[in-house]
Amino acid sequence: MQIIENLKLKEKLYIEKLENGLTIMIIPKPGIQKKYIIWGTNYGSNDSEFFVPGEDEKTRVPNGVAHFLEHKLFEQENGTNSLDVLTALGVNANAYTTNDHTAYLFECTDNFYEAMDELMDYVQHPYFTDENVEKEKGIIGQEIMMYDDYPEWRVYLNAMQAMYHNNPIKIDITGTIDTISKIDKEILYKCYHTFYHPSNMALVVCGDFDPEEMLKEVKKRLIVKKNQGEIKRVYPKEPETIVKNRIEQNLEVSQPLYAIGIKDKKDNSDMGNKNLMVQKHIGMEILMNIIIGRSSNLFRELYQEGILYSMPSLDYEFGKDYAHVLITGQSTDPEKLYCKFKEEIQKLKTNGIKEEDFNRIKKMIYGGYVKEYNDVQDIARMFLADYFKGINSFDYIEEIEGVKLEYINQILKDVFKEEKMVISIVKNEQK
């Protein structure tokens, strides 16, 4: 087992890749009562076109299969639902699907190994029938309709649709009523056997564990699977341009919601260089905070004018085939906010970013990274998501020192271009 130690954090990662390809990561937290386990597959809603290892013909499945699979794995052949079994054990269990990966997890203080038995059993034993697949379509159909009226989701998805022409990130993770109607048990089994192979998965455990003992516990619960080749994923070509610069929807909200998106050019060479990926992500976080973070001049001005009452959510989202800046929140006047946001960017481009602002924000970002290691959930989920991007989460701590002001100014010029910006607004027409 490989041990990676971060001396700045005083944290250790124990990592082992098994013969079947499964990567196991263990982050011990001596003296912490909470225990957390997450088992994920490098398979999300964007993966609808692919070549199954050993097959020459491309497979295309309906949108929403990854999320549908996540729902169905809890249902067992004996009639039980694994989520109910885990809840009865007193653990907090859940699952989720993103554009890039699907994960199954639980957090607890007691009954860890009993719950681990259940988790590792249901993830490895799918049970799909014509009847239970049809029944699930009704349940997921209701979820889709619910999200259609959910303002926070609509303002996000509308921003994706304004930015992206062809990339599947513009499609709802759940699919649509029409696309899920085409899902059957054969499609589910095919996607399960392709993407839920150990070589495409990673398991992360965080808590007060002995790493060698935990590794044994995981291994004895694994079923034997033959090695498989690489899954070749197919993504549509995406132009660098945006679709439209503005999109608006009327829904019942107490205050207008906004999402400002900036489409970034996805350089595939970045995905092969983890240092570049990490530095770019750090740079984006620093930049967004300088422009509109809590201590920025712009946020202070917007707050004093009553345009903003709370700090926006600042994100740089990137994956195998997409990358964008996303700034979201509530505002009394999203149009004015957007106008001032663009003015602030122009001002910073003209005058340059002050060294003192850069150093202050960089220290704040570093403090935020360190703070993430206080919670077993944050640690485990972070290591899983980063692993599927080819990153070790410790890299953020190591790389932040090397991010210089010149680099930040360069990103500002290269990425924060008005022709790549969109604004999505959800507001109540009556108000």
The residues carrying an active-site annotation are: 70
**Beta bridge partners of residue 201, listed in sequence order:** 41
Burial (CB count <10 Å: 0-12, 13-18, 19+), residue 155: buried
In our burial notation (b when 16+ CB lie closer than 10 A, e otherwise), range 188-209 reads: beebbebbbbbbbbbbbbbbeb
DSSP conformational letter for 283 = H
**Burial tier of 105 (Cβ tally within 10 Å: 0-12, 13-18, 19+):** buried
Cα distance between residue 14 and residue 26, in whole Å: 5
d(CA 395, CA 278): 7
Helix (H) or strand (E) holding 36: strand 35-41
Q: 205: which strand partners?
A: 26, 37
40: β partners: 103, 202
Q: Which of 222, 230, 209 is nearest to 19 (CA)?
A: 222
